[in-house]
Amino acid sequence: MPADPDTRRIEELGLNSSAPPGQLLYDGWLVRLANGQAKRARSVNAVYPSTVPLETKITYCEALFRRAGLPAIFRMTPFSQPSTLDAELERRGYGRFETTAVELAAIDAARLGGGAAEPVGLDVLAESVGALRGSPPEHRAAHRARLDGIPLERHAVVVRESGRVVAAGLTIVEDGVAGLFDIITDEGVRRRGHARTVVVSLLRKALELGARHAYLQVKSDNEPARRLYRQFGFEERYEYWYRGRPGEQR
């Protein structure tokens, strides 16, 4: 089994797997300006060291989001640069919200018993996930556009009941590591094993595509989902969170 990827590499893989069509690199910060539901695709990611004064950078990014008609959101990780950014945003009134755990597991074929989900195209996935989330048409279109633009192996699955999609998920594979995304189940049919079927199917496909590790992102307070993922050996490696001004934390 290959050695576990380090946490910084996991962060890079996650960013690559969520790259929107529109983004800018500004003095070490990746500024994403997609009009969609996923905050990873419409936030500032302070990934590299920089030289421009912090106050100047924050003001510049705020102007970019204002011009795009989006709330200014900063995605914070243990690796954000500079290390004073989180405290400075808090001083400016940017509240912390939506803490998310990034979990990693070695893919173990012995854990992957059970039924199989239905493979589908990215158009079906984007529409299905949008329907299950109650997303408006423009968010579904942005989701599809983002998936279309990712130059990596992608594989989507759904579970149906009486012909209706009740669960869905996606894996994106890069450098021998699979990211699991968009795992969602209709609230009315939870605790029937559909989410497990989705995860099993995605991990099986990831193995076929050469992946030996998998990562995922789950809200830290989502204990039912985290219990499921522990069945496959997922363990937390780090957390990230968002900063946004009052009324704009969405």
- How far apart are the C-alpha atoms of 222 and 196, rounded to whole Å? 15
Q: CB-hemisphere CA count at 13 Å for 39? A: 20
Backbone angles phi, psi at 77, to 5 degrees: -135, 170
**Buried/exposed code over 131-142 (b: 16+ C-beta within 10 A; e: otherwise):** ebeebeeebbbb
* Vertex 75: Cα angle to 73 and 79 (nearest 5): 150
Beta bridge partners of 24: 31
Please give the average pLDDT of every successive group of 10 residues along the chain, which has 250 residues: 87 90 91 88 94 96 96 97 97 98 97 94 96 92 90 96 96 97 92 94 97 97 96 98 95
- How far apart are the C-alpha atoms of 17 and 138, rounded to whole Å? 20
Tokens of 10: 């996991």
- How far apart are the C-alpha atoms of 158 and 194, rounded to whole Å? 9
The whole-number pLDDT of residue 36 equals 78
DSSP 27-66: TTEEEE---SS-GGGSSEEE-S---S-HHHHHHHHHHHHH
The whole-number pLDDT of residue 1 equals 67
> Among candidates 246, 231, 241, which has minimal Cα distance to 78?
241
Is the separation of the CB atoms in 209 and 155 below 8 Å?
Answer: yes
Instruction: Give one word for 4, left, alpha or beta, with left for phi > 0 and alpha for psi -120 to 50.
Output: beta
The whole-number pLDDT of residue 142 equals 87
- How far apart are the C-alpha atoms of 100 and 96, rounded to whole Å? 11
Backbone angles phi, psi at 174, to 5 degrees: -145, 135
